[in-house]
Amino acid sequence: MVRDEIKKAISEVIEEAQTEELLLKFEVPEITVERSGDEKYGDYASNIALKISKLAKKSPNDVAQILERRLKEKILFAKVQIAPNGFINFFLLKEFLQEQVHEILEEKDNYGGLDIGQGKKVQVEFISANPTGPLTLGNARGGFLGDTLANILQKAGYVVQREFLINDAGYQIEVLGHSILGDEKAQYNGGYIEELREKLKKFLDKPAGEIGFKAAQLIFETMIKPVIEQRMKIKFDNWFSEKAMRESGAIEKIIELLKEKKVVFENEGALWFKSTDFGDDKDRVLITSENSERGREATYISQDIAYHYDKFIKRKFDKAIDIWAADHHGYVSRLQAAKKALEMSGELTIIVMQLVKLFQDGKEVRMSKRSGIYVTIEELLDEIPLDVARFFFLMYSPDTHMDFNLDLAREQSEKNPVYYVQYAYARICSIFKKSDADIKKHINEADNLELLNHPAELILIKQLIRLPEIIEDIVKDYQVQRLPQYALDLVRAFHKFYEGCRVIDEKNQDLTKVRLVLVESTRIVLKNTLDLMGISAPEKM
């Protein structure tokens, strides 16, 4: 990555300055390099002079001047500039940029791949919808986020497992049974409940829990799994049953382990976890008392602790990423507390998805014919293509509320961001069809890339080489919305290049060849970006 090259150059000149006793000896802190937001301030910038000024016992500006003189000698910079407060701006050399095109052509589908993960095991658990009804728009948001994040982690060198937790046991399953019976404890309604009542009519004399479990199985097999696999095109590596885990005695084992750690206590007949000792805001009930509404039973947090113990201790994942709905926010601190109490090794990250609202003609669409409450994923995908749905959901940070504009999603023009990106890919393919050139031969002979010196060409190359950096940034903070935004930035740069530079110039065959090579580099990077998002790259539209 270019950022790594700049960091390496900074590290080298600091070491040189220390050797020459222009700077004191000290351990250099982490060097940060950011892409500049305005090209007049260069391509990249670093605050390293400000960061080490106290260690060097010099002003940030003095440190910057010492570093600047040496950085100018590095072959990747056209210019190094000191900015206010000791910041250093870097302008990349055009020869360095031209050389990056070779790297893209050599790596092809692998371009953007990193070795950050170094083969570590990561599990991404997402959707995990209760099998009590059809999948919602919120499930779609978490589903496409989880699937794309898993793709990115794989690209970054992790061994990734996609998992769906089937919540096929517990209170919500009993409530589902009551809903099918239609008694006073019913909570779920809609057309699908009536359908289930008809399908399960021979079981209506059974207890609510038994009816609920049979209904949950039907919902999972007919409304959830097929939609995920066939409509959303998401492939899970593992479907983990809560019921099977409960029946294995895993929850009882967790309770015993917590007792051995002396992090539980009895109060009013209930068993409590001392979660406040591990950063939670209050202690949590693990097993309710006999006098509670449902009698003595394990709470949801007990099940969740057992499930994550299985992830970290039994299956030995180095990292687990859970993507939860907004209404599960309160469980984050208690689960992290339990992880500390049981000394589970590995890193747990919980991403909480905010709500989605669907808008049509400026008004919120609330009701669903099938669920009676919310619009389902199937209903949305009946209205718009999967590519559009994925792109739209990925455009928003998970921690922000999302207003889904159905009118824009239906738009089949460049006003629609996903079509804008896909049209660019189709245009690239059409360029090759119009050209009589053998692109493979040109790639092999592309030894005169110094002809790529038009401002629009260099700007396009600067966008192309951002992909590995985008992947690295997402791996660090899981902000997947960077990827669709990058796709839009890349396509804008390509359109400016296409408008400003004639690709096929019969009067200049050498220039035509290298521009075709640049177009091929753009195709590779754009295709890799779309693949990461699970979005198709059409060759014609």
Residues 361 and 429 in one domain: no
Let me know whether 209 and 319 are in one domain: yes
The backbone region for 190, taken as left when phi is positive above 0, alpha when psi lies in -120 to 50, beta otherwise, is: left
Res. 444: pLDDT tops 70: no
Cα dihedral sign, 258-261-267-269: positive
CATH number for the domain that contains residue 521: 1.10.730.10
Please report the pLDDT score of residue 191 as a whole number.
87
Residue-range definition of the domain harbouring residue 299: 121-251+293-353
- Residue 282 forms part of a structural domain: no
pLDDT value for 408: 96
* CA 77/CA 72 separation, integer angstroms: 7
Please check whether residues 206 and 219 belong to one and the same domain: yes
In a domain? residue 38: yes
pLDDT of residue 1: 85
User: What's the pLDDT at 39?
Assistant: 85
Same domain for 392 and 349 = no
* Cα dist from 537 to 106, 427, 428, 532, whole Å: 21, 11, 11, 11
Q: Is the pLDDT of residue 201 over 90?
A: yes
Token pair for 364: 């919120």
Out of 353, 375, 400, a domain closes at 353
Q: Read off the pLDDT band of 293 (50, 70, 90).
A: confident
Is 112 part of any domain? no
Domain co-membership, 14 together with 156:
no
Domain for residue 142, yes or no? yes
Are 333 and 363 in the same domain?
no
Tell me, what's the pLDDT at 541? 87
300-311 mean pLDDT: 96
* Residues 302, 317 share a domain: yes
Flag whether 264 is in a domain: no
For 480-490, letters b (16+ CB in 10 Å) and e give bbbbbebbbeb
Q: Is residue 310 part of a domain?
A: yes
User: Are 7 and 85 contained in the same domain?
Assistant: yes
Round to whole Å and give the CA distance between 250 and 273.
17
| pLDDT tens digits, 475-489 | 999 999 999 999 999
Rounded CA separation 352/138 (Å):
11
Nearest to 148 by CA among 482, 476, 516, 501: 482
Residue 208, domain CATH = 3.40.50.620
Torsion of CA 292, 294, 300, 301, to 10 degrees: 20
59 is written with which tokens?
A: 């002003």
179 lies in the same domain as 136 = yes
The contacts of residue 143 (CB under 8 Å, 6+ apart) are 126, 127, 135, 228, 232, 234, 377
pLDDT of residue 441 exceeding 70: no
Whether 188 is in a domain gets the answer yes
Q: Do residues 319 and 430 share a domain?
A: no
- Specify the pairing of strand 363-365 against strand 33-35: unpaired
Give the position of tokens 């500039």: 81
> Is the domain of 139 the same as that of 183?
yes
User: pLDDT for 497-535, tens place per residue?
Assistant: 999 999 988 788 889 889 999 999 999 999 999 999 999
Alpha carbon of residue 109 to chain centroid: 20
Confirm whether 231 is domain-assigned.
yes
**Contact predicate 310/342, CB 8 Å:** no
Of the chain, the end-to-end C-alpha distance in Å amounts to: 33
Residues 362, 398 share a domain: yes
pLDDT for position 507: 83
| pLDDT band at residue 85 using 50, 70 and 90 as cut-offs | confident
